[in-house]
Amino acid sequence: MIRRVRHQVVDGMALLAALLVAVIAIAPILWGLSTALKPEAQILAYPPRWLPHPPTLATYLSVWSDSPLPVYFRNSVITTVGALALSLLVAVHAAYAFSRFRFRGRSALLVGLLATSMMPGVAILVPLYHLAVVIHLYNTYAAMILVYAAWNVPILVWLLRGFFDTVPRELEEAALVDGCGRVHAFYRIVLPMARPGLLSAAVLVIMYVWNDFLIAFTLTIDDPHRTLSVGLYTYVSNYGIDYGHLMAATIVALIPVVAVFFMLQRHLISGLMSGALKG
């Protein structure tokens, strides 16, 4: 009886802590949504109004039609899709090679690959900037796509290798006996069975690239190439902060990544657990 009560108390405290963390995480988003729906006169009113009265979409319409937000949104989509395609293209083949083949230095190469992603991004911003200028890729989509892909490939290789390890080798061996080549067996059998891992890897890349500020800020200089995360900074000026437009633009920027996360969260969790158990 005492043990049961103790477990109930521990479970209750854990639930309370989880709710507290959820409130702390969600409260700023709700406040931003409320601010973006307020008429302009209520945004800086004191005492502050917690709820807009009446709610209006004027700020959203204004920020979408009278600012470069659509351009920022387009740039983020192009950069994210490009980095996702390139990083998955490299990572799936490298992960399959590490999963199926045994060669000298394999373990050391895996550790070295992972070690490259442990370096703080801010430590290599200046070299990245200099390199982009030297090879004439500064202020282009290509520079951001290459850097984001290179940054994500190591962790994706480790994640996908764990998924490829779960695919029975007997299936490939049967396909090889039936006359299917190694490449065809990979694309027709292994890759479809690792679909949850690919989706979880895609979620990680999308969330990282879409939310990144430092790399995009360092490698771009004008509105035609700035991403959403950098574009939001333009609503903060020396003359003050345009809170209404900033909050509206922030909510617009959050919608795609939140939607992707909720649609693919099951695959993300299973992919991370599989990579942890098998990696």
User: Which are the contacts of 232, defined by CB distance < 8 A and separation ≥ 6?
Assistant: 72, 246, 249, 250, 253
Is the Cα dihedral 201, 202, 207, 210 positive or negative? positive
- Looking at residue 148, its pLDDT comes to 94
On whether the CB atoms of residues 263 and 203 are closer than 8 A, the answer is no
Q: If you count them, how many residues does the chain have?
A: 279
**Which pLDDT belongs to residue 276?**
45
Report percent pLDDT > 70 for the chain.
92
Element (H, E) at 241: strand 240-241
CB 219 within 8 A of CB 129: yes
Distances (CA, A) of 279 to 124, 167, 269: 28, 13, 15
Residue 277 pLDDT > 50? no
Burial of residue 54, with CB atoms counted within 10 A of its CB: 0-12 exposed, 13-18 middle, 19 or more buried: exposed
Q: Are 236 and 156 in contact (CB under 8 A)?
A: no
- Where residue 237 falls among pLDDT bands split at 50, 70, 90? low
Q: How is residue 112 written in tokens?
A: 């070295």
Q: What local confidence, expressed as pLDDT, does residue 73 receive?
A: 93
Give the Cβ contact number of residue 192 at 10 Å: 10
